Amino acid sequence: MDTHRDIGVWPENSTARVPYWVYQDEANYKRELERLFAGPTWNFVCLEADIPTKGDYRTNVVGAMPVIVVRDADGRINCFENRCAHRGALIAFDDGGKVDNQFKCIYHAWSYDLSGSLRGIAFERGINGVGGMAKPFDRERFGPRKLRTTTFCGMVFATLSDQTPPIEQYLGTEISGRVKRVLNRPIKVMGRFVQALPNNWKLYVENVKDTYHASLLHLFFGTFRITRLTQGGGVLVSPDGGHHASYTIDKADDRQTTAYRDQGIRTETDYKLADPTLLDTVEEFGDKIQLQILSVFPALILQQIHNCLAVRQVVPLGTDKMEIRWTYFGFADDSPEMTTRRLKQQNLVGPAGFVSMEDGCVGGFVQRGIAAAGDEVSAIEMGGDTTESQATRATEASVRGFWKAYRERMGY
Amino acid sequence: MEVGKLVELNAAYARVIDNEQFEEWPKLFHDPCLYKVTTVENVAQGLEAGIIYADSRGMLEDRISALRKANIYERQRYRHIVGLPVLLGEKNGVVEAETPFLIVRIMRDGKMDLFATGSYRDKVRADGSGGLRFAERIVVCDGGRFDTLVAIPF
C-alpha cells in the first residue's frame, strides 16, 4: 500500500470513483469538520416541536461543536456553542429541558441569557474589594460562538458561516417542495432513539442516497412492495448534488413482473406476515407516493415510509464511528387510529427496524472490508457517471451527487 | 399470585431467547397483547414510540420469522440475566410486576458486550389452563443508545 499519497488528491477526476481513504483518514476527517459542518452548510439541530415555548431547549452537536438550541421570550430560536467563556465547561449537560431566563454554568456559576451572551460573572468584583476579575474583561471575545439559525417546515437548522444561503435556496426548489410535501402541518414527537454505528458517517449518508440497494438488501422492502425498482418513482438531485429525494409510486402492473425472480434476487419469496396490519397504510399526502427518502447535505434525512415518519440526524464521531439520532413523529391532529398505525409501522425503521436494521450493519461491513484498501477506489456507475435527477431508481445518481458536493466543498 | 410463578415465567422467557428457541417466545404472550421496547427517557417524557412494537401474537411471530428468514445481520446470541420481580399490584387476576434485566450480546467472533439493561414492566395473567402469560411486557431500557442493530427481542 502506498503510504505516501497526498490527502486531498482524487485518484480519478470522476464522480463515479471514490477513494477509500475518505472513510479512514484522520486529517480528512478534521477537514470535514471544518469545511462541511463548520462551513457554509445548514445543520439540523432540533424540531420546533422539541422546543415549543420560551425557555425550552435541546442540546445537540454541529459537527464536533456542542450547541444549545433554545426558544427565547420573543419566540425566536437561538443556537450557541455549549461552552462556558470561563473554562470551557458545558453550560448545559442534559439532552434538553426548560430554563427561566438564563443558563448557568455549574462550574463557577457564570450565566448566559437565551441568546448565549455572557451576562453574569459570580463575584466579578471580588469580596470586599479584594479578588474578582481584572478589568476590562472582553465578554464577546471569550463568549460561546453564536450560530445563525433558520427554520423550515418545523425543522431547525444552524450554521457557523455567514455565507450559507437562505434554506430554500440552499435546498433548491425541487427538494424544498419535497420537504413541504411531508411537513405540511404541525407535528408531534413520538419518540427518540440513538443508533451507534461502527462506520464512517459518509457510508450511512451514501446508503440513504443509494436507491439501487433498497429492494436488494432489504427483503422486507421487495417482498411487501414497499419499494421495488420495478415500481414507479425516481430520484431528484439538487443542482449542487448535495441534497436528494427519492420516491416510490405503487403501480398495479408491478404485481405481475418477474424482474426480481429473473435476477435471482432473494426478495422474490413467499414470505408472509402473520399480522399484516403492520402494513395497513393510508394515503395521507394525496399523491400516491408511498415512500420518500430525502437528504439535506451534509447529514440530515427526512423519511416517509408509508405512514412512518422520522428525521435522522447523522452525527460523525471520528473516522470509523457515528450515530444516528432518530426522532419519530406524527402530526398533532393524528387520530388514535393513526397513532396506532404509526406505532406499528415504526417497526420498519430504527435500530430494530425490519428494513433499517441491515443499514445498521452494512456500513460496518464496508468499513471492515476496505481496511487494507485506502488507495483503492469504489465504482459508483449505475445509471452512468452524472448526477442529474432520473426517472428510475436503478441508478446511483444521488450518491454521485453527494460526492460532487463533497469535493466542491472540501476543495478536492 | 406467588412470586415463584413469576420467576418461573421470567426464567422461561430468558431461556427461550438465549437458547435461540425463538418460536417459543410468542407463546409466552396472550393474544392480543402489548410488547414494546423503549427507553427510560421516552417513558419519562410520555413518548409512545418503541423500537419494537407489537399488539398481537402474530406481530411477535413476524419478528421471529423476519429474524429467521428476512433480515441479514452478523450471527449473535444474547445472555439474559433477569433479576427478581417486584409485585406492584393485582386486580381482576392481572398482576403488575417489574423485573430488572441485563443482556450480554455475544458476537460470532466471541466478542461480548453489555448490550442492554433495564426493567420489564409487565401485566401477567393466567391462561385457560392456569399457566401464566404476558398480557403486556414493556421493555424499558436504561440507555437510549443501541449498538448497530437489534435483531433479537429483549
Burial category of A271 from C-beta neighbours within 10 Å (exposed 0-12, middle 13-18, buried 19 and up): middle
pTM exceeds 0.90 for this model: yes
> Residues A322-326: what's their mean pLDDT?
98
pLDDT at B19 over 70: yes
Evaluate if residue A3 carries a pLDDT over 70: no
- pLDDT value of residue A2: 45
With 0-12 CB in 10 A as exposed, 13-18 as middle and 19+ as buried, what is A131?
exposed
Mean pLDDT of B4-17: 97
What is the pLDDT confidence band of residue A299, given thresholds at 50, 70 and 90? very high
Contact status of A111 with chain B (Cβ, < 8 Å): no
Partner-chain contact B48 A343, CB within 8 Å: yes
The Cα A297–Cα A311 span in angstroms is 14
Interchain CB distance below 8 Å, A195 and B148? yes
- Judge whether B76 is closer than 8 Å to chain A, CB to CB: no
SS3 sequence of B40-51: HHHHHCCCCCCC
Mean pLDDT of B93-118: 97
Whether residue B52 contacts residue B35, with contact meaning beta carbons closer than 8 Å, is answered with: yes
Query: What is the grid cell recorded at A132?
Result: 474578582
Whether pLDDT at A4 is above 60: no
**What would the pLDDT profile of A168-208 be if each residue is shown by its tens digit?**
999 999 999 999 999 999 999 999 999 999 999 999 999 99
pLDDT tens-digit map of B54-72: 999 999 999 999 999 888 8
Residue B33, chain A, CB below 8 Å: the answer is no
* pLDDT over threshold 80, residue A411: yes
pLDDT of residue A212: 82
User: What is the mean predicted confidence (pLDDT) over A139-168?
Assistant: 96
Helix or strand or coil: residue A335? coil
A281-286: long-range contacts, CB 8 A cutoff, minimum separation 24: A281/A306, A281/A307, A281/A341, A281/A345, A282/A307, A282/A338, A282/A341, A285/A181, A285/A182, A285/A184
| Contact list, A313 vs chain B (CB under 8 Å) | none
Kindly indicate the confidence band of residue B108, based on its pLDDT and cuts at 50, 70 and 90: very high
B124/B29 Cα distance (integer angstroms): 9
Q: Which of A193, A340, A364 sits opposite B146 (nearest CB)?
A: A193
- Which phi and psi (to 5°) does residue A71 adopt? -95, 130
CA pseudo-torsion sign A349, A354, A355, A357: positive
- pLDDT for A252 equals 60
The answer to whether the CB of B137 falls within 8 A of the CB of B120 is: yes
* Side chain identity at residue B28, one-letter code: L
What whole-number percentage of chain A has pLDDT above 70?
Answer: 93
Would you say residue A223 has pLDDT above 80? no
For residue A235, pLDDT over 60 is answered with yes
Over residues A120-140, mean pLDDT: 85
Comparing C-alpha atoms, which of A80, A77, A106 is closest to residue A91?
Answer: A106
Strand-strand pairing, A77-81 and A65-71: antiparallel
Question: Above 70 in pLDDT, residue A264?
Answer: no
pLDDT value, residue A268: 52
Q: Can you tell me the ipTM of this complex?
A: 0.96
Residue B148 Cα, gap to closest chain A Cα (Å): 5
- Asked if the Cβ–Cβ distance from B148 to A197 is below 8 Å, we say yes
Within an 8 Å CB–CB cutoff, is residue A339 touching chain B? Answer: yes
pLDDT digits (tens, 9 = 90+) for A42-56: 999 999 999 999 999
Which of B58, B69, B71 minimises the CB distance to A274?
A: B58
- Considering only CB atoms, A192 lies closest to which of B47, B149, B151, namely B47
Position A1 confidence tier, pLDDT thresholds 50, 70, 90: very low
pLDDT in tens, A351-371: 999 988 888 899 999 999 999
Can you give the pLDDT at residue A216? 77
A106-117 pLDDT tens trace? 999 999 999 999
Distance of alpha carbon B98 from alpha carbon B85, whole angstroms: 5
Q: Does B47 touch chain A (CB under 8 A)?
A: yes
Query: How does residue A8 score in pLDDT terms, banded at 50, 70 and 90?
Result: low
Size of interface A-B (CB pairs under 8 A): 118
Interface check for B111 against chain A (CB to CB < 8 A): the answer is no
- Contact residues, chain B, for A278 at CB < 8 Å: 59, 62
Q: Which residue has the higher pLDDT, A272 or A197?
A: A197
pLDDT of residue A214: 73
Average pLDDT, chain A: 91
Contact B138, B121 (CB under 8 A): yes
Burial of A253 (0-12, 13-18, 19+ CB in 10 A): exposed
pLDDT of residue A225: 66
